A and B are shown apart, each in its own frame.
Chain A
Amino acid sequence: MDILKLDGISKHFLGLKAVENVSFSIKQGEIFSVIGPNGAGKTTLFNIISGHYSPTKGRKYFEGKDITNLRDFEVAERGITRTFQNIRLFSNLTVLENVLIGLHIKLKSSILDCLLRNSKNKKEEDECYDEALELLDTIGLKDKAFEQAKNLSYGEQRKLEIIRALASKPKLLLLDEPTAGMNNFEAKEIVQYIKELNSTGLTILLIEHNMRVVMGVSNNIVVLNYGEKIAHGTASEIQNNELVIEAYLGRSKKND
């Protein structure tokens, strides 16, 4: 079953075609990757899916429902959360609070409940602290729950950002270059973590630059170049695709 379906999505900025007529579907439970050279429109596409931008043309469907006109927080409420290419943690807050904010959607206390701190709010707060600590435990950051997020190592920050996005139990997780700026060891750790998440049934959409990461984990891959989809298939299909090699792999090999 398709969890997310893009139908002819385009995004133009003052005549610049950042994304042009891109369509694809993501199946429930798979790891789906979007790759492409710098400036291919990957992050723009991501921002469209997460609702940060609205597309110039085209429609997007989540679990069969049209979500084209939903705003970003509504998209998150439906069950799509994301991480950012340049980590966007609440860096002055504690690690724990970052996760607590991630739990926002799941909590039900109204503003008035919060001001009065009634029994309902009290109970919920106690529960969400425990839940946040448990979540932190799963990535080994429980000991650092009271550190400021900015004091974590780069790898830990990446993990924290992922766990923050996971806190609300999304159905689709968008990861924007999760291994960017990492050494091989850290990258491997993250890839392992992504696989683990996927094994629990979570659908993951991945944007990556690091070819090794993508080829290793993805069920399906879409390649963008100049905002257009130039290929779609499994890792081996993509690796043998002439267009892709020309647009991307050839160049990236040279760079290596």
Chain B
Amino acid sequence: MDRIKNIKQMSNKIFSRLNNNMIFALSLFVIIIFPIIFDNSYILHILILLGVYVVLGTSLNVVAGVMGELDLGHAAFFGIGAYISSLFVMNVFDNFWIGMILAGFISLIFGLLLGIPSLRIRGDYLAIVTLGFNEIIRYVLLNMQSVTNGPMGIKGIPSPTIFGYVLNTKQQMFYLIWVLVIIIVVVMNRMTNSRFGRTLVAIREDQIAATSLGINTGKYEIWAFAITAAFAGIAGSFFAHYMNFINPNNFTTNESILILCMITVGGRGSMIGSFIGVTILFLLPELLRPIADYRMLIYGIMLVVMMVFKPRGFWPEKRIPSRITKSAESKEAS
């Protein structure tokens, strides 16, 4: 019993549930209150896009962080989701929500497909396959003119609606994306500390050992790709209906690399790290706007400096299971 107590105290110190709930409540409060106080369309616009990138970053974190495979094709799913949703809503059935679910679903299917090579190919080679996939999707978007309208992109994508009520102010879109962010962050957080999450970490750490313990690594790798892709597809759907305009240039390999940069700078594998990284790297160019021409130069220098001095990111993954607290508690009570 004493030991359990020690463990409990230890984990309490590091990662308490109460604390977790407080963070949750606080962020909810901030999200509700923020657009009311800062009703500035530029700031809200930036924060809406930040929300999109948080979804992209935290979802990429499943494959690239938790499972540790370099995935350079994330923007492809973002694009697939954006195009599927826009085309569906504009041509088939005018309902944003169905479009979004469909976007997630089709992206998931593509994610499963992209996961298949991971059964045979590993490491850098797999990274290149994902990159190649991204390029292929981009060429398809560019060249299938009859469907995608090629480089001109799709204009006039309708804004989301709720029960016939059109969401078109920045405030409404802010709430919509940040609710999505919360849902996805909660789901991802649950995932990392579960049987599934541990399996992915095991694959990252030592695949052979993982298999020897009865883990069907291939199956989990494919599903990790699928889940990562599905959330990117949902982000894409939101992005399309928010911007009302998309073109293939939104979904290039550079975009994929940028998202990977974000979570690496934050700390791969770590949920909070991904969040911090996305925020820093997304806001940095905006903050550097006053020095206009030099901002990308400085951005590049900062990337190198950050990696040289903090190669594991600002908030590296700490694998302290939070739920031990509760399990110890319930034991004590009984």
Q: Across the interface, do B331 and A102 meet the contact criterion of CB distance under 8 Å?
A: no
Residues of chain B lying within 8 A (CB to CB) of residue A125? 193-195, 323, 327
Is there contact, CB below 8 Å, between A115 and B201?
no
A145 touches B212 (CB 8 A): no
The reply to whether B208 and A73 contact each other, CB–CB distance below 8 Å, is no
A96 located at the interface, meaning its Cβ lies under 8 Å from any Cβ of chain B in the complex: yes
* Whole-angstrom CA separation of A114 from B188 in the bound complex: 10
CA distance A52 to B214 in the complex (A): 12
Contact partner of B213 (CB less than 8 A), chosen from A76, A93, A142, is A76
Q: Is B242 an interface residue (CB 8 A)?
A: no
User: Given the complex, which residues of A lie within 8 Å of B4, measured CB to CB?
Assistant: 133
Q: Is A81 touching B202 in the complex (CB atoms < 8 A)?
A: no
B87 is an interface residue with CB less than 8 A from chain A = no
Structural contact, B211 and A76, CB atoms closer than 8 A: yes
Asked if B212 and A81 make an inter-chain contact with CB atoms under 8 angstroms apart, the answer reads yes
Q: CB distance A114 to B191 under 8 Å? A: yes
The answer to whether A101 touches B212, judged by C-beta atoms less than 8 angstroms apart, is: no
Q: Please state if B205 and A90 are interface contacts (CB–CB under 8 Å).
A: yes
Residues of B within 8 A of A211 (CB): none
Bound Cα distance from A79 to B173, whole angstroms: 53
Query: Hey, which chain A residues are within 8 Å of B3, CB to CB?
Result: 137, 142-143
Residues of B in contact with A, size category:
35 or more
Residues of A within 8 A of B330 (CB): 126
A137 — which chain B residues lie within 8 A by C-beta? Answer: 3
- Count of chain A residues with a beta carbon within 8 Å of a chain B beta carbon: 49
The answer, yes or no, to whether A188 is at the interface (CB within 8 Å) is: no
Stretch at the interface among A4-12, A103-111, A151-159, A238-246: A103-111
How far apart are the CA atoms of A52 and B210 in the complex, in Å? 12
A76 touches B319 (CB 8 A): no
B319: chain A residues within 8 A (beta carbon): 92-94, 97
Query: Using Cβ atoms and an 8 Å threshold, which residues of chain A touch B331?
Result: 130
Stretch at the interface among B31-39, B148-156, B215-223: B215-223
**Contact status B327-A129, CB under 8 Å:** yes
Give A220 to B217 CA distance when docked, in angstroms. 35
Whether B214 and A73, one on each chain, are in contact in the complex, defined by CB atoms closer than 8 angstroms, is yes
Chain B residues contacting A111 (CB-CB under 8 Å) are 196, 220, 223, 227
Question: Closest CB of chain A to B208's CB: distance in Å?
Answer: 7
Contact B206–A90 (Cβ < 8 Å): yes
Query: Any chain B CB within 8 A of the CB of A50?
Result: yes
**B205 engages A93 (CB within 8 Å):** yes
Query: In the complex, A89 Cα to B320 Cα: how many Å?
Result: 17
Say whether chain B's binding surface is mostly helix, strand, loop, or mixed. helix
Instruction: Determine if B79 is an interface residue (Cβ-Cβ < 8 Å).
Output: no
B194 to chain A, nearest CB (A): 4
Verify A121–B194 contact, CB threshold 8 A: yes
CA distance A132 to B320 in the complex (A): 15
A 184-217 contacts with B by CB, 8 A: none
Partner of A101, one of B187, B190, B213, B326: B213
Residues of chain B in range 310-334 having any CB-CB distance to chain A below 8 Å: 319-321, 323-324, 326-327, 330-331
Determine the residue in chain B with the shortest Cβ distance to A91: B205
> For B23, what are the chain A residues with a Cβ–Cβ distance below 8 Å?
none
Within 149-204 of B, Cβ neighbours of A (below 8 Å) are at 187, 190-191, 193-199, 201-202
Assess A126 versus B320: contact at CB under 8 Å? Given A97-B198, A97-B201.
no
For A107, the chain B residues whose CB sits under 8 A away are: 195
Alpha-carbon distance between A133 and B323 when the two chains are bound, in angstroms: 13
Instruction: Report how far A52 CA is from B202 CA in the complex, Å.
Output: 17
* Least Cβ–Cβ distance between B10 and chain A, in angstroms: 6
Contact with B along A128-140 (1 / 0, CB 8 A): 1110010001000
What are some 5 contacts across the A-B interface (CB < 8 A)?
A72-B211, A94-B319, A97-B201, A114-B197, A165-B212
* Seed contacts A101-B202, A114-B196, A126-B323; 15 additional CB < 8 Å A-B pairs: A73-B211, A76-B211, A81-B213, A90-B205, A93-B205, A96-B321, A100-B198, A101-B198, A101-B210, A104-B214, A111-B227, A114-B195, A125-B195, A126-B327, A146-B320
**B interface, CB within 8 angstroms of A:** 3-4, 6-7, 10-11, 187, 190-191, 193-199, 201-202, 205-206, 208-217, 220, 223, 227, 319-321, 323-324, 326-327, 330-331
- 9 closest cross-chain pairs (CB), A and B: A76-B214, A114-B194, A114-B196, A90-B205, A105-B214, A88-B209, A117-B190, A126-B327, A129-B327
